[in-house]
Amino acid sequence: MDNTRHISSSNGPVDPAVAGLMEGEQTFETVSERLASIVLRQDKHKLPWWIMLGIGFVMYNLLGIALTKLLLYGVGIWGIDEPVGWGWAIINFVWWIGIGHAGTLISAFLLLMRQNWRNSINRFAEAMTIFAVLCAGIYPVFHTGRPWCAYWLFPYPNILGMWPGWRSPLLWDVFAVSTYASVSILFWLIGLIPDFATLRDRAENVVVKKTYGVLSLGWRGAAEHWQRYETASLILAGISTPLVLSVHSIISFDFSIGIVPGWHTAISPPYFVAGALYAGFAMVIILAVPLRKWYHLEDYITPKHMDWCAKLMLTSGLVVLYGYMSECFFSYLSGNHIEIRMMELRQFGPYGAAYWFLILCNGVIPQLLWIPKVRFHNGWLFFISVVVSIGMWLERYVIVVVSLTRDFLPSSWGYFAPTIWDILMYAGTIGQFIFLFFMFVRVMPMINIFEMRELVHKTHGHVHSSAEEHSAATPVSLPAQPAE
Amino acid sequence: MSRIYGLVAEFDTAEALLRGAEAAREAGYRRVEAYSPFPVHGMAEVLEHDDPRLPWAVFIMGVIGCATGFGLESWTAVINYPFNIGGKPTFSWPNFIPVAYELTILFSAFTAGLSMLVLNGLPRYHHSIFNTPRFERASSDLFFLCIEARDAKYDPEETAHFLENLGAQLVSEVEK
C-alpha cells in the first residue's frame, strides 16, 4: 500500500495511516452537513437517481412476473431437467451471496485490522451485502418448487416426528445463509444508530425528525454508551469475519461434498471464498464509481480508496486464478480418467467458450490493475469491475452446468440451455438490487457520518482547533484501544 | 433543587472535553458524563466506564448457542429419530459442526447487539440531557460535559464556577 504519488497530501503533519483518506478542508460540521444533507435535502437527488430507480423498478417488476409464472407452473419453466437439475437458480444464488461477502469483509475484517479507510465505504458496502443476500435468498427458496413449504427446512416438531438431515450441506446452507443475513442486518442497523441521531438533530421537517428520532432509539452520545457501542462493534466484527469465511465454505460444500466429477475437490472452500471477495470488491467499485460522482463524494471516497479496493480485487483475483490453475493441474495429474475427461470437457467441450471467456474475464483483463494509471481511472475501474462480475458469473456457470452435463454413465449425459424465465428472473433480482440500493441512498446516510467525524478528528483535528486548544500534552490517543 | 438535572459545559473539541472530564474526576466529582459526536478514545478510562457484562454475556450466549445446535442435532439424530442414511453412524459428529458453529455466531451476535442496547438503557423516549441548549449539535460538532445534581460534591455555584474555569464556551443549568 505505498502508491500515494497521485494523491494530494493533506495539510499539516498527518499520521500516515490516515493520510489521503479525506480531501479538502473538512471539519466536524462540514462532514455532518455534507453527508446528512444527501438524506435530508431531497433536491440532492437529481436525474441519475431517478434513472437508476426507474431502471431498477422496471427490472424489479420482471421479478414479479417471473415469480408469478413460476408459482403457477413450477420450476419446469426453467431450463433445468435431468441431468442438469441445478441451473441458473443455483448459479445466481452463489453469485449474489459472493457479492455480499466484500461488504462484510470491509465492515468487519478491516475494522479488526484497524484500517481507517474502511470508514468511507463500509456503510454502502454493508447495504450492498444485505441487498445481495436478499436477492440470493430468493433462488433456493423458489428452487425447492414449493416455496410455501420452505419452513420444512428448519427443525421444528411436526406430526411425522421427522427432523432435517443434519448431514446435508444443503441444510448447513439454510443455517449459514439465514445467520449471515440476520447478523449482517444487525451489524448494519447498529452502525446506523448514531447516524440516525445526527439526522434527527439536523432535520427540520417534523415528520422526518420524528422518524429518525424513533430510529435513533434515543441515542445521546454518552461516553458510557460509546464504550459499550465500541465493545459491541468490535465483538460483532470479530464474529462476522469467521462467519463470512464459513458461509462461503459451506456453500462450496454444496458442491465439493457431492461426488460429481468437477465438484469433488478439496480446494473448493478457499477458492470459493476468494472468488466471493473478488466479485464483492468488483461490486463495491461498480457502486462507488457512480455514487462519488453523482453525489460529489470525491472528498470522502478518495482515489486512495478506489486504489486500495482495486488492489484487494486484484489480490483476490490472483488467488482465484491460482485456484483455476491448481484445479486444472490436479485434474490432469489425478490419473482418474473421469476427472481428466471432465477437465477436457470444460476446456474444449461444447461449453469451452464459456471457460475461456471466464479465464479472459477473471484472469487476463484484471491484470490491467497492475498499472497505477488504471487504478486511478474511474472508467477503467468500472469496466474491469463489470468484467469481473461477468467472469464470476461464468465461473459458477462452468462449475454448476458443465459438471452436471456429464455424469459417470454416458447414458445420463445431457445438455443445458436457459429459458426466457431463467433470464427474466436473473434480470429481476438485479432490478431488485438496484431498486433497493437507490432507495437506501435516499433515506439513509450512505457514508458512516460519525466515523467520518472521527477521521476528521484524527487527520485535521490539530489543524482546525484553535491554537490554545492544541497542546502537545493532549492525551487523546493515550490508551491503546483495539478499535480504530 | 430536585428540578435540576445537572450543570452542562459545552466544549468545541474532543481534547477539551477529555481534559474537562479528567479535571472533574480529579476534583472529586463522581456523577460525571461526557457527550460527544463520536467515541473519544481515553474517555471510558477517565470516567471509569468499564462494563465487563457485555463481553461475558456474548461469551455465555455463544456457548449456549453452540450447545443448542450440537445438542439439537445429536438428540434428534441419535435419540429421537435415529435413521440409517447410507450406513453412516447416527452420531456422525463432524457433520454436526457447521450448524453448531452458525448457531454459536447467531446467538453471540444478537447478544452483542441487543445487550449493548439493553445495558445502555435504549431505546429511551426522553432524557434530561436533551434539555441542554444547543444539545442538538452534540451529534455533529459540539462536546458536552455534564456534572449531575445528584453528585455528592454538587453545588450550583461552585460547580458552575469549576466548569467555567475548564474553558467551557457555555455552562448551563439543565432542568429535569
In a domain, A360, yes or no: yes
Residue A209's domain spans which residues?
76-156+163-465
- Cβ B76–A221 below 8 Å, yes or no? no
Q: Are residues B9 and B33 in the same domain?
A: yes
Q: Are residues B43 and B60 in the same domain?
A: no
Q: CB distance from A301 to chain B under 8 Å?
A: no
Q: Is B64 exposed, middle or buried (0-12, 13-18, 19+ CB in 10 A)?
A: middle
Q: Are residues B142 and B155 in the same domain?
A: yes
Confidence check: pLDDT of A15 > 80: no
Q: Best interface-test mutation with B: which of A227, A246, A256, A456 has the largest number of B CBs within 10 A?
A: A227
* Number of folded domains that form chain B: 2
Top pLDDT among A131 and A6 is at: A131
In a domain, A290, yes or no: yes
For A371-473, list the strands marked E by DSSP: none
**Secondary structure (DSSP) of A149-178:** GGGGGS----TT-----TT-HHHHHHHHHH
* Number of folded domains that form chain A: 1
Q: What is the CATH number of the domain that holds A124?
A: 1.20.1630.10
Q: Are residues B46 and B132 in the same domain?
A: yes
Q: Are residues B8 and B46 in the same domain?
A: yes
Contact A110, A440 (CB under 8 A): no
**B-chain residues near A198 (CB < 8 A):** 37, 139-140
Q: What is the ipTM of this complex?
A: 0.91
pLDDT 10s digits, B40-95: 888 888 888 888 899 999 999 999 999 999 999 999 999 988 888 888 888 989 99
Q: Are residues B31 and B59 in the same domain?
A: no
For A48-171, list the strands marked E by DSSP: none
Quote the pLDDT of residue A260. Answer: 84
Confidence check: pLDDT of A14 > 70: no
In a domain, A425, yes or no: yes
Q: Which residue of B has its CA nearest to A168?
A: B95
Confidence check: pLDDT of A482 > 70: no
Quote the pLDDT of residue A384. Answer: 94
Q: CB distance from A225 to chain B under 8 Å?
A: yes
Q: Which residue of A has its CA nearest to B21?
A: A223
In a domain, A475, yes or no: no
pLDDT 10s digits, A310-320: 999 999 999 99
Give the H/E segment covering residue B175.
strand B170-175
The vertex-B14 CA angle with B8 and B18, nearest 5°, equals: 70
Q: Are residues B63 and B112 in the same domain?
A: yes
Residue from the list A167, A242, A481 with its beta carbon closest to the beta carbon of B88: A167
Confidence check: pLDDT of A190 > 80: yes
Instruction: Show the 3-state SS of B107-156.
Output: HHHHHHHHHHHHHCCCCCCCCHHHHCCCHHHHHCCCEEEEEECCCCCCCH
In a domain, A14, yes or no: no
Q: CB distance from A188 to chain B under 8 Å?
A: no
Residue B37's domain spans which residues?
4-51+128-175
Quote the pLDDT of residue A2. Answer: 38
A474 to each of B26, B43, B44, B163, how far by Cα in Å? 16, 12, 16, 18
Overall average pLDDT of the B113-138 stretch: 87
Q: Best interface-test mutation with A: which of B5, B10, B12, B41 has the largest number of A CBs within 10 A?
A: B41
**How sure is the predictor about A16, in pLDDT bands with cuts at 50, 70 and 90?**
low
Contacts of A44 (CB under 8 A, 6+ apart): A37, A38, A295
Q: How far is B156 from chain A (nearest CA, A)?
A: 22
Q: Are residues B96 and B149 in the same domain?
A: no
**How sure is the predictor about A44, in pLDDT bands with cuts at 50, 70 and 90?**
confident
Confidence check: pLDDT of A17 > 70: no
